[in-house]
Amino acid sequence: MQPVNQYPLTLPPAEPPRDTYFCIRMSVVEKAALHALAKRLNTSASTLARHFLNQAVQHFSQDEWSRHEPSA
């Protein structure tokens, strides 16, 4: 895995509510850290998690990364 500074993250823009759910399991410590960061950034934990997940999907979907994916 690359160092974190290789993947610049941005803050989430205001967006309308979503109509479907995607659930993940987290440890109590991970959840607390996410909620603390969201509170510090004045946003909800779900908005922050969704935004970071979408950024990661976009980043790893770029052509540069697709060349590094293992063959099936």
Q: Where are the domains of the chain?
A: 23-58
HEC letters along the chain: CCCHHHCCCCCCCCCCCCCCCCCCCCCHHHHHHHHHHHHHCCCCHHHHHHHHHHHHHHHHCCHHHHCCCCCC
Supply the pTM of this predicted model. Answer: 0.65
Q: Which residues of the chain have pLDDT under 50?
A: 1-4
Q: What is the pLDDT of residue 44?
A: 92
Q: What is the pLDDT of residue 4?
A: 47
- Where do we find the tokens 């309308």? 16
